[in-house]
Structure 1
């Protein structure tokens, strides 16, 4: 990256830096992530988030490390419903493996060598008995013994430590009031921690970059309703992560991000760019289509300027736009207006679709179609019988969406008087 591109990227990331400062993120990573070559980079990115004022709770798994200890001891685990049945021998392996993983993570977060990305970070990592657990019990006739589930998270104690700029580290184990130790699912711990702390984000780092669709491509974003319909097609780790994401969002966590720990910089790309790199799960759609407000004027002007300079749209002044803002609908993404359109009434049964614009970075993403559908819905609500549009460069798009070419003389009289013969715009009509 040349210096100019770097400065531009840094400027574009500044709204996210401001938005994330002081927020609480729970970051979960599997035991496989800790053994991966890229985990050093993940730790460095975690340190950067800490330096930017993000309050961090890290939750680690240890399944492969437990398997390794059991293999060394020549002990074979029994699994049921993809959960380990933790007997007394397996519990000793859990204690050994979790202790090693915990020490490994803490040591990596303590690095501060000169000429390293973590130089001067001086991160304080705190861990302890913050997870109260209970036995999973007997399921389908199988006694899970020392395998448990989360009963409670000591969220107040964790919040106090976060306020003192500590990173809190939670392991995939918990303790009962009677002093017993239980082996827990890392997803269970992470999901309960995020909900109990009222975290702003739960970030789940797995082997692949987000959830796959039918073609095995990464799904960029899902609402809870979408995920409920899609989750039955998932298996293994993606299914476990999707279950945790769905539970977390349903219980109040605003956003859950599913990322790949093998992708260098995935954490930073997801949090500091608009497009991200994994799958975002939220209660509602990430892009908000809504009626425009007065504070959207600057964003709409910035969106329209390139199209006005190219002669595609008629230039509008700020004063005119401020007076007509109630006619506009916008699609907003993280505070940026990415598309807009307006509805202008001209008679009892005709209205104009105007000022349809989509940011160049978001073309081909159905934003124009969504705005058209919104405008048509609003026009029908107002009992208009016909929409018309004037265009010089995008006639084919309107034809593809049901508009038919017509004559200027078919326009309402008031609109005919405003017609610019020098622009020679083509006129299209669509019955509603």
Structure 2
């Protein structure tokens, strides 16, 4: 019987996921998230699932501001009314005669979202939920003006965000819903970029997260590998590449960069077409898309021969305490390519090594992570986690199927990082033969 056919196995997988999501549930409670999705997302068949997941986030005590776009709906209204509105630099020129088409599209989407968040059928995921959705004139706008000789007319840009009013509604456990429109002090309505509304709102509210639900799963590099995390300064090349072929992604990336450089510490890019993307991104370690982060941590890199002196200074105290096995300078020089380090101002703050283990027959491709060390002054940071993630990614790229660690002092820390207890007999034969029974190290393993 396969796991798909085994109800108990499926239940255990759910229990395992739920237990591991608990730290994220606690971390996100009472935090403020701005979630932006465009008009294409509203039209997609997965949108109802997105609404259910948003309702779940609300039930977990997360303070939510939703920002929706409306481009395809506006286009449809304009086509029906036989009105043409050109685009310049990804902004629509909103004429006075086209404004009613904009307002009808935005109002229709708002009502649709409010209706979905009001569902309470007994057989639906939102049974028993009581969600109050609030919309209002929270965004003050001003004309975009004349740019490069083009008069954008009733197209505007965000002038201010009424953060006090939004905060009051969030404190009353309401979901705040914003559309791509803003209002002037003279009573005019302006058509805005939804991406700009979301970004300015997140910045002004000092939101904990800004999440963009777009067509793409996130950013992929030239090898078509998903970039799980990226610094905002590194987005420029992706923005330039997206402007020609994926203008929507370019808008999201520009907005993500602006938000990240202006105090929003976590910006997420995920797909609206992938069922569960929102929950996977927020409640699992790897997530489902790309996170843009301005976190000021040192880059993990492969060690080089110039690092040997710094490694010795970091490792010797731990070797003298018996925490680590002694490594001579000659051995470190020979094995330097196996090491990863975190360096700052010429000082090695953390290190670890990845040693492939020879395997035979039906043994899984395995490797050992060894010599994990963090400078005593930095052990309360996440540098150990960073360097472990780096070596796990390296192991995956090498086709390694399982990792082992042998430790005498820090088994609990590795268990917290997803390893599980193992016995000496579970080590590949080649590593069993080298096991030091005098040292009596605890063995832990992790499947990749």
> Normalised by the size of structure 1, how large is the TM-score?
0.70
Q: Secondary structure at the match of 1:243?
A: helix
Residues 86-124 of structure 1: CA distance to partner in whole angstroms, max 9, x if unpaired?
001111100111110110011011101102101011110
Report the more deviating stretch, 67-76 or 174-183: 67-76
1:147 equivalent in alignment to 2:195: no
Deviation at 1:169, TM superposition (A): 0.1
> Out of 257, 263, 270, which is 1:259 matched to?
270
Q: Partner of 2:107 in structure 1?
A: 99
> Out of 37, 55, 58, which is 1:47 matched to?
55
Deviation at 1:82, TM superposition (A): 1.6
Counterparts of 1:410-429 in structure 2, within 5 Å, are none
Deviation at 1:215, TM superposition (A): 4.3
Q: Partner of 1:208 in structure 2?
A: 216
**Equivalent residue pairs, number:** 336
Q: Secondary structure at the match of 1:110?
A: coil
> Out of 359, 366, 376, which is 1:326 matched to?
376
Deviation at 1:219, TM superposition (A): 2.1
Q: Partner of 1:353 in structure 2?
A: none
> Out of 282, 288, 294, which is 2:293 matched to?
282
Deviation at 1:83, TM superposition (A): 0.9
Given the superposition, is the C-alpha separation of residues 359 and 226 from structure 1 closer, same or farther in structure 2, using an over 3 Å criterion?
Answer: closer
> Out of 137, 141, 144, which is 1:136 matched to?
144
Deviation at 1:230, TM superposition (A): 3.4
CA contact (8 A) 1:223 1:285 kept: no
> Out of 87, 101, 107, which is 2:95 matched to?
87
Q: Which runs of 5+ in 2 are unaligned?
A: 1-8, 302-313, 316-323, 325-351, 356-365, 399-426, 429-435, 440-448
Deviation at 1:229, TM superposition (A): 4.1
Deviation at 1:254, TM superposition (A): 0.6
Q: Secondary structure at the match of 2:33?
A: strand
> Out of 7, 10, 13, which is 1:2 matched to?
10
Distance 1:155 1:195 in 2: 10
Q: Partner of 2:172 in structure 1?
A: 164
Q: Partner of 2:257 in structure 1?
A: 246
Deviation at 1:238, TM superposition (A): 1.2
CA contact (8 A) 1:221 1:286 kept: no
1:363 equivalent in alignment to 2:395: yes
Given the superposition, is the C-alpha separation of residues 94 and 312 from structure 1 closer, same or farther in structure 2, using an over 3 Å criterion?
Answer: closer
Deviation at 1:268, TM superposition (A): 0.3
CA contact (8 A) 1:146 1:181 kept: yes
Moved over 4 A (4+): 285-292, 310-316, 327-331, 357-362, 420-423
Residues 213-248 of structure 1: CA distance to partner in whole angstroms, max 9, x if unpaired?
334443221102211343222221111100000000
Distance 2:58 2:42 in 1: 19
Given the superposition, is the C-alpha separation of residues 145 and 53 from structure 1 closer, same or farther in structure 2, using an over 3 Å criterion?
Answer: same
CA contact (8 A) 2:181 2:191 kept: yes
Q: Secondary structure at the match of 1:56?
A: strand
Counterparts of 1:311-350 in structure 2, within 5 Å, are 326=376, 332=382, 337=385, 339=387
Distance 1:337 1:16 in 2: 16
CA contact (8 A) 2:33 2:210 kept: yes
Residues 364-393 of structure 1: CA distance to partner in whole angstroms, max 9, x if unpaired?
479xxxxxxxxxxxxxxxxxxxxxxxxxx9
Distance 1:182 1:50 in 2: 30
Q: Over the residues paired in the alignment, what is the CA RMSD in angstroms?
A: 3.6
Q: Partner of 2:198 in structure 1?
A: 190
Given the superposition, is the C-alpha separation of residues 89 and 358 from structure 1 closer, same or farther in structure 2, using an over 3 Å criterion?
Answer: closer
CA contact (8 A) 2:300 2:390 kept: no
Q: Secondary structure at the match of 2:114?
A: helix
Q: Secondary structure at the match of 1:284?
A: coil
1:270 equivalent in alignment to 2:281: yes
CA contact (8 A) 1:331 1:338 kept: no
> Out of 101, 104, 112, which is 2:120 matched to?
112
Deviation at 1:163, TM superposition (A): 0.7
CA contact (8 A) 2:146 2:152 kept: yes
Deviation at 1:337, TM superposition (A): 3.5
Residues 249-302 of structure 1: CA distance to partner in whole angstroms, max 9, x if unpaired?
11100100001100000000000001011111011378986999xxxxxxx9xx
Distance 2:49 2:98 in 1: 32
CA contact (8 A) 1:289 1:330 kept: no
Given the superposition, is the C-alpha separation of residues 313 and 278 from structure 1 closer, same or farther in structure 2, using an over 3 Å criterion?
Answer: closer
